[in-house]
A and B are shown apart, each in its own frame.
Chain A
Amino acid sequence: CRIQKCSTDFVALTSHLNSAIDGFDSEFCKALRAYAGCTQRTSKACRGNLVYHSAVLGISDLMSQRNCSKDGPTSSTNPEVTHDPCNYHSHAGAREHRGGDLNPPGYLFCGLFGD
């Protein structure tokens, strides 16, 4: 149900962060919000999945511990892409466009015509 991908992205976003440096809290909250958004998008497909529900609870706990607001900027898995919550490609497509593939997998096509 792709919850693993959400978790992997979160690890990728936070693994380089150092709590000793300025801006750590802000960046960590951004990553948490991105993680939360990712789990939200998988909520239907992951219903009943223990890993998913553990992740949701974990995110909630971490956001409380770090005093992160629910609304605010989020991290992108591609640092070159500025996150725009209303641009699917900026948070989901970025990883798929790596390697210069103009027609990334992960998209589906459906067509209807004729008689």
Chain B
Amino acid sequence: PHLRTFKDHFQTCKVEGAWPLIDNNYLSVQVTNVPVVPGSSATATNKITIIFKAHRECTDQKVYQAVTDDLPAAFVDGSTSGGDGDTKSLLILERESGRYVEMHARYIGTTVFVRQLGRYLTLAIRMPEDLAMSYEESQDLQLCVNGCPLSERIDDGQGQVSAILGHSVPRTSLAPAWPGYTLEAANAQCHEKMPVKDIYFQSCVFDLLTTGDANFTAAAHSALEDVEALHPRKERWHIFPSGSQGTPHGRGHWAVS
């Protein structure tokens, strides 16, 4: 999947199986990714587990789990909130039945969006920096904090999905690289939803070419919407790949604008 880290680094990763996105003193988020097409290392998320850790008088521990085709609007214990009846310092809201839920953890100033688009899940999290950085040294494997390990990256080492596109599919070919989409068709479809040719647009093209699944257009589009809803800095919403409207700032770094 495509990962945007707390540092606004953008990466495309393999990370097949279960991986921790966040593991600090307040929150634990783990995802499970599975291959999307045979013969490709690309994976997508089909399970998300979120643990809101017990926090003094505000809430006892609450676990949320979503898998493909089972996106509940409740924690695993059946409750829809944490904390006292009136306080509700932790709350789940169902925005679209079975498709989109929001979790608002007021006591830690944290908001989580979970969506299902097509067969796969997406995740967006906003968390205070001081809480996100509150973890033990042993908890260093957190994709949101440190990004994917280099061995798990399927971009070119500088986050350049464009390089993958250039190498894996002939740019001028009229024949689809994967059943369903030529590069031109993928570009056109993604451009309809995302007129700004940023990294979300490129990810959309990448996903269409690697899977032929049009649902990934909606996933990239809603991922950008989630950024606009949750990312604290408007000037950083869009990330541009090198050669378009920005330049990479070293390994895994992207220009933001």
Q: Which of B64-72, B225-233, B246-254 contacts A (4 or more CB under 8 A)?
A: B225-233
The 9 closest A-B pairs by CB, nearest first: A88-B109, A110-B144, A86-B89, A86-B58, A113-B223, A113-B122, A108-B6, A109-B231, A107-B232
* A111 & B4 in contact (Cβ 8 Å cutoff): yes
Tally of A interface residues using CB under 8 Å: 25
**A105, B143: Cα distance in complex, Å:** 21
9 A-B Cβ contacts within 8 A?
Answer: A88-B109, A92-B128, A107-B109, A107-B128, A108-B127, A108-B132, A110-B3, A114-B120, A114-B207
User: Which of B122, B123, B130 gathers most chain A CB within 10 Å?
Assistant: B130
Confirm or deny: A58 has a beta carbon within 8 angstroms of a beta carbon on chain B: no
Residues in chain A near residue B204, CB distance under 8 A? 114
**B104-163 contacts to A (CB < 8 Å):** 106-110, 120, 122-136, 143-144
Residues in chain A near residue B83, CB distance under 8 A? 86
Tally of B interface residues using CB under 8 Å: 65
Residues in chain B near residue A103, CB distance under 8 A? 231-234
* B25 & A86 in contact (Cβ 8 Å cutoff): no
Which residues in A have some Cβ–Cβ distance to B below 8 Å?
A: 2, 41-42, 44-45, 85-89, 92-93, 103-115
Interface of B is mostly: mixed
Whole-angstrom distance between the Cβ of B165 and the nearest chain A Cβ:
13
A106 in complex: contacting residue of B58, B128, B226, CB < 8 Å: B128
Give B1-12 as 1s and 0s: 1 = Cβ < 8 Å from A's Cβ atoms: 111111010000
**A20, B249: Cα distance in complex, Å:** 58
Given known contacts A103-B234, A106-B129, is B2 in contact with A113 (CB within 8 Å)?
Answer: yes
B230 in complex: contacting residue of A2, A89, A92, A109, CB < 8 Å: A109
Given known contacts A85-B58, A114-B220, A114-B223, is B130 in contact with A92 (CB within 8 Å)?
Answer: yes
**A15, B3: Cα distance in complex, Å:** 46
Residues in chain B near residue A41, CB distance under 8 A? 130-131, 134
Given known contacts A86-B87, A87-B89, A88-B109, is B6 in contact with A109 (CB within 8 Å)?
Answer: yes
Residues in chain A near residue B87, CB distance under 8 A? 86
Residues in chain A near residue B57, CB distance under 8 A? 85-86
**A5, B109: Cα distance in complex, Å:** 18
Whole-angstrom distance between the Cβ of A72 and the nearest chain B Cβ:
12
* A111 & B128 in contact (Cβ 8 Å cutoff): no
Given known contacts A88-B109, A93-B109, A114-B2, is B126 in contact with A108 (CB within 8 Å)?
Answer: yes
